Amino acid sequence: MNILFIMFDQLRWDYLSCYGHKTLNTPNIDQLATQGVRFDRAYIQSPICGSSRMSTYTGRYVHSHGASWNGIPLKVGEMTMGDHLRAAGMGCWLVGKTHMRADEEGMARLGLEPDSLIGARVAECGFDVFERDDGMLPEGPDGYYDPDGAREYNKYLRAKGYESDNPWHDFANSGLDAEGNVQSGWFLKNATRPANIAEEDSETPYLTTRAMEFIEHQTGPWCCHLSYIKPHWPYIVPEPYASMYGPEHVQDVVRSDSERQNAHPLFKAFMDTKVGEAFSRQEVRDAVIPAYMGLIKQADDQMGRLFTWLEETGRMQDTMIVLTSDHGDFLGDHWMGEKTFFHDAATRVPLIVYDPRPEADATRGSVCDALVESIDLAPTFVEAAGGKPAMHILEGESLIPILHGARDHTLRDHVICEYDFSASPIAHLNDISVRQAVMFMVADKDWKLIHFEADPRPMLFDLRNDPQELVDLGGDPAHADVIAGMYDKLFRWTRRQSQRTTRSEEQLIAMRTKSRKRGIVLGIYDENETPLELTVKYRGRKARPYKDYLKG
């Protein structure tokens, strides 16, 4: 069996019709859900691109792999999905985005050349690269954000006749006014304009084509990580999608005046960012969200194109398909934009898994309410590839038992999400030290607690009675017992053994007894107090007094 691992960037869990969106119809993704299992409580491990993806790719919490913010390298030595799958006999390839930064210092220290096979894999998050496209080539006074961003895509656009030093920006992510002036997609007001590009040349169709080109030449078994850039900002989309939705299709914002007036001080700091202030304005939501919806509709149409092609080529019968996102987007909910906080708008993601094998027939079209984390995908893939997940390294759990109907739940009773904002302006503006600029979310099906290292008061939401997370109960003495119980879960998680990755549980159990036969006899007063076989090397031995040797 093969694995097609599809990830969208910044796709909210509730912006698909199969997850309940009222005006945005996504029939192709919905159809995939009818063929597999739709997970309703899937959570990421960090609400920002880089660290979330590193958890998904390593199968480990941010606390374990250490790549805690965008631009922080994944340290040399961390095993990734590609390493585990290759050990199980499956290739692992990238088409699209990873947001991974290589640990160049660590590679140099160990003598790993970037152009060697091992060095290239270490530098590319364990993937073999068919095409890497992190999709971001904005330029500021000090240069490009990522000089390698959209590298191959820009070559493609220039070959198609899009003349510019940066066609990614000037065509794919900008509009055009009547005088021919580029109207940059970075300015939210321009989200109402169509991107100045033929739809088939825009980023989402381009990556779909590249994935199909990869798959058609594979004999397997293979895992293809098809990682789309959209619907991540810049929020701008070509026609016909630019005209499909308007303010009348935008769902009501989820926020309250009381929520803002009584905000926890650190929560308010996130509200008061530039992007939070922008998305608190209705004109911004009315401009951006229709474009965001258009980007998702385009993505769904491309899924239809891709799934039809897989059917025609016979690949639907031998390929597991997994569709998810790296995080959501507040879009003005809770007076915020972007994703860097812990409400479900940011931390809960869509997750649909289609397993073509007969063992999964019993669960097709089902909805699973289990607490699932993104770190569960790596062990799921290893088991699907026929391997045994290395659970002393991987911290998630395989979802195969759920897919095959053996269980309807995971073995965990809570989920964890982390955010390290020590490198962000919020830490600077609020005079928060690097060590204190970190926060954690622990949630189960009833409660969500947010802990701040920089403030002793947590936030608490009653998910049963307040599913929109509008009323913070963290300062309410009546909920002290609930808070203590959630902290018990968080502290239990922090006490887990996460760094002992060089010996498996089975090896450690074996060492309890087998090591006794390797020569150490400790705490034995008389040789007859222990089995003869353990002391046979110490019995019946002869030696002359040492003084006899000294005389010679």
CA gap 498, 302 in Å, rounded:
39
Return the H-helix or E-strand segment holding 259: helix 257-261
Q: Which residue has the tokens 């992510």?
A: 173
Q: Which residue has the tokens 């080539």?
A: 137
**pLDDT at residue number 519:** 77
Smallest Cα–Cα separation from 457: which of 465, 469, 449, 447?
449
CA gap 284, 490 in Å, rounded:
37
The Cβ of residue 11 has, within 10 Å, a number of other Cβ atoms equal to 26
Cross-strand pairs, 2 = 319
Describe the chain by its helix, strand, coil percentages, rounded to 5. 40, 15, 45
Token pair belonging to 354: 């289609």
**pLDDT at residue number 469:** 98
Return the H-helix or E-strand segment holding 205: helix 203-215
Sign of CA dihedral 32, 38, 40, 42: negative
Q: What is the pLDDT along the chain (552 residues), one digit of tens a residue?
A: 999 999 999 999 999 999 999 999 999 999 999 999 999 999 999 999 999 999 999 999 999 999 999 989 999 999 999 999 999 999 999 999 999 999 999 999 999 998 899 999 999 999 999 999 988 888 888 888 888 889 999 999 999 999 999 999 999 999 999 999 999 999 999 999 999 999 999 999 999 999 999 999 998 899 999 999 999 999 999 999 999 999 999 999 999 999 999 999 999 999 999 999 999 999 999 999 999 999 999 999 999 999 999 999 999 999 999 999 999 999 999 999 999 999 999 999 999 999 999 999 999 999 999 999 999 999 999 999 999 999 999 999 999 999 999 999 999 999 999 999 999 999 999 999 999 999 999 999 999 999 999 999 999 999 999 999 999 999 999 999 999 999 999 999 999 999 999 999 999 988 887 766 777 788 889 988 888 888 888 889 999 999 888 876
DSSP type of residue 297: H
DSSP type of residue 355: -
413, burial (CB in 10 Å: exposed 0-12, middle 13-18, buried 19+): exposed
Sign of CA dihedral 468, 418, 375, 150: positive
CA gap 424, 352 in Å, rounded:
33
